[in-house]
């Protein structure tokens, strides 16, 4: 499979490495408006491929060269500087998405191509990309809260001393400050959280839940403070999403796609079944009243920002 990555900065490079390491692509093409950067990344990754899979990795200087790509990953655009929120990138990155999507559409098979959006503010960029591409919503997929859900899972795994593979936990809504930790649907080995706490004799009081929520929501800010940007986690998230699509896994991942029609439509992260055709089913997990209210508020924030464009 041929995969195109648009934007080869910190995130695009990490995504390219993670995609290469899946062994699922026979060709990766890299496009960046900074051609020197893209060529250097292709060269470096090409060397790395000698230690893993034989794969053709090239930097391309025009969009015609992405022809034949079945999946296009968009990781271009401004990133957060320390103290900036994802929403602060709204106008800058709306310009970037508006530049990229029409060119992608002019050079891919519109009946099959799937676009994966990584650029922030993620959910608004998904809405914009879907509008500009005119693709069915199920084929314009944002990584959404996949990373936030992973962060929650890791924290719970360390707290309880249970493998992440036995924990189901979702963060819903915006990939941003209004994200919602969905405590009501957390289960460990098929056992709901309160019951698991009783059986394991490891309590999880409200104060600890608040701390966990804070850590999940602030993870990106802390990483950006420490290393300037985040890239490893999102690289792994994109690779996981590719596995689910390319292998038609029907796995449930918290991704962001446009739901609803007209003025009521919005892209938020919910658990969604992912397969070869992108999102093939939308699911609603158990939620208590405050989670439902927080999710509605999160959706409103995303829609309001989209309407500003």
x/- contact string, 27-46, with ligand NAD (CB under 6 A)? -----xxx--x---------
Alpha carbon distance 125, 238 (integer Å): 16
The CB-of-224 to ligand NAD minimum distance in angstroms stands at: 9
Within 129-148, the residues that bind ligand NAD by CB under 6 A are: 143, 147
- Selected from 8, 28, 128, 279, the binder of ligand NAD by CB under 6 A is 8
175 is catalytic: yes
Nearer to ligand NAD, 118 or 156 (CB): 118
The structure tokens 């699911």 sit at 283
Residue 42 phi/psi, 5-degree rounding, is -65, -40
Asked if 3 interacts with ligand NAD (CB under 6 A), we say no
- Selected from 17, 69, 120, 168, the binder of ligand NAD by CB under 6 A is 120
- Selected from 19, 96, 128, 246, the binder of ligand NAD by CB under 6 A is 96
Alpha carbon distance 40, 82 (integer Å): 27
By beta carbon distance, the residue nearest ligand NAD is: 9
Buried b or exposed e, range 62-79, using 16+ CB within 10 angstroms: ebebbeebbbbbbbbbbb
- Selected from 16, 25, 30, 77, the binder of ligand NAD by CB under 6 A is 77
Which listed residue (175, 214, 243, 250) is catalytic?
Answer: 175
Identify which range of 10-18, 43-51, 62-70, 204-212 contacts ligand NAD by CB under 6 A. Answer: 10-18
Asked if 9 interacts with ligand NAD (CB under 6 A), we say yes
x/- contact string, 151-190, with ligand NAD (CB under 6 A)? ------------------------x---------------
What does the binding site for ligand NAD look like in residue numbers (CB under 6 A)?
A: 6-12, 32-34, 37, 75-80, 89, 93, 96, 99-100, 118-120, 122, 143, 147, 175, 229-230, 234
Catalytic residue annotation: 175
């Amino acid at each position: 499979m041929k995969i195109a990555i648009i934007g080869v900065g910190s995130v695009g490079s990490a995504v390219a490495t993670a995609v290469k390491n899946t062994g699922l692509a026979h060709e990766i093409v890299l496009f960046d408006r900074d051609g020197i950067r893209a060529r250097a990344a292709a060269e470096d990754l090409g060397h790395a491929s000698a230690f893993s899979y034989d794969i053709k990795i090239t930097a391309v200087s025009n969009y015609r060269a992405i022809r034949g790509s079945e999946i296009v990953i968009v990781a271009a655009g401004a990133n957060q500087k320390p103290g900036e929120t994802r929403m602060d990138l709204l106008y800058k990155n709306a310009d970037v998405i508006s530049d990229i999507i029409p060119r992608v559409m002019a050079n891919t098979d519109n009946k099959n191509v799937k676009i994966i959006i990584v650029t922030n503010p993620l959910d608004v960029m998904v809405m914009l990309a879907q509008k500009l591409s005119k693709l069915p919503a199920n084929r314009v997929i944002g990584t959404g809260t996949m990373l936030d859900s992973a962060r929650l899972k890791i924290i719970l795994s360390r707290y309880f001393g249970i493998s992440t593979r036995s924990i189901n936990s979702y963060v819903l809504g915006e990939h941003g400050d209004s994200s919602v930790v969905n405590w009501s649907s957390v289960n460990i080995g098929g056992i709901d959280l309160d019951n698991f706490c009783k059986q394991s004799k490891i309590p999880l009081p409200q104060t600890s839940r608040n701390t966990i929520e804070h850590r999940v929501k602030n993870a990106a800010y802390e990483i950006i403070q420490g290393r300037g940007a985040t890239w490893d986690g999102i690289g792994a998230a994109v690779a996981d999403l590719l596995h689910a699509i390319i292998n038609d896994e029907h796995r449930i991942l918290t991704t962001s796609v446009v739901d609803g029609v007209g003025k009521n439509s919005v892209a938020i992260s919910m658990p969604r079944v992912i397969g070869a055709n992108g999102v093939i089913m939308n699911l609603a997990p158990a939620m208590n009243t405050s989670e439902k209210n927080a999710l509605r508020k999160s959706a409103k924030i995303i829609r309001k920002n989209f309407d500003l464009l």
